[in-house]
Amino acid sequence: MTRRAVILIGGGEYARVVADALRSKPDAFELIGFVDPSPERDMASRLQAPHLGDDTALVRYPDALAVLAFGSLRPDSARCEAVGRLTAAVGGWATVVHRDARVAPDVVVGEGTVVLAGAVVQVGARIGAHCLINATACVGHDVTIGDYALVSGLVGGAASVGARSLIGMGALIRDHCTVGADAFVGMGAIVVRDVALGTQVLPRGIGIPGPRQWKSS
């Protein structure tokens, strides 16, 4: 296996989580720094990695891979925008699966996706590009996760989660259900039937059609 240099895109609290996942695979990745126009205070020290500057610094490292190290839940997702803007400037996108995640051998994980420690991804699952599979997540057999989705809950077997959707901590998606693109399933919500695109689902199974209530983290 060839060890690749990796640069984090983002210098907030989530960057430390991604750095931990990278460093769990020392034979595969070397974290060489992070880019952010305005990183959190003392982030270089907390990450134990240098602040390389803003995104324009990427041109100095044409062979390095990059990985998104920030979250965004806005409809015009900053994560989507960053990938579109920076792809030409990086040597590719790192796919990072923490050594303590349980991922079946036949699972397909898209480029730029991060699977954190403690996550479980069962046989036959397909995860898109630039997703986040959080430490609390369980992705059942034959599940499909769309690009840029953030999953922190339990997704039952053969279910589908659309692109840019969020499944909050403690949320439960019944097997064979479809959650449409741009949907928001809040913490502790239980989904027992299909969820239309752009729908917000709150605990107790309340569904609110229309625009999501977006925020950034």
Take residue 42 and report the two structure tokens written for it.
């003392």
What global pTM score does this model have? 0.92
> What whole-number distance in Å separates Cα of residue 46 and Cα of residue 50?
10
Cβ atoms 200, 212 nearer than 8 A: yes
Identity of the amino acid at 200: Q
pLDDT in tens, 45-92: 999 999 999 999 999 999 999 999 998 665 557 899 999 999 999 999
- Asked if CATH classification 3.40.50 holds for the domain at 4-94, the reply, yes or no, is yes
d(CA 15, CA 1): 25
Contact 195, 211 (CB under 8 A): no
Residue 135 vs residue 205, higher pLDDT: 135
What pLDDT score was predicted for residue 78? 86
| Tokens (6 digits) for 100 | 């303590």
**Chain region(s) in the chain for CATH 3.40.50:** 4-94
Distance between CA atoms of 8 and 114, rounded to whole angstroms?
Answer: 12
**Over residues 115-132, mean pLDDT:** 98
Rounded CA-CA distance 46/41 in Å is 9
150-202 confidence digits (pLDDT tens): 999 999 999 999 999 999 999 999 999 999 999 999 999 999 999 999 999 98
CATH 3.40.1180.10 applies to domain 97-202: no
Note the pLDDT tens digit of each residue in 17-55. Answer: 999 999 999 999 999 999 999 999 999 999 999 999 999
Cβ neighbours of residue 90 closer than 8 Å, sequence gap 6 or more: 7, 58, 64, 65, 66
CATH 2.160.10.10 domain residues, the chain? 97-202
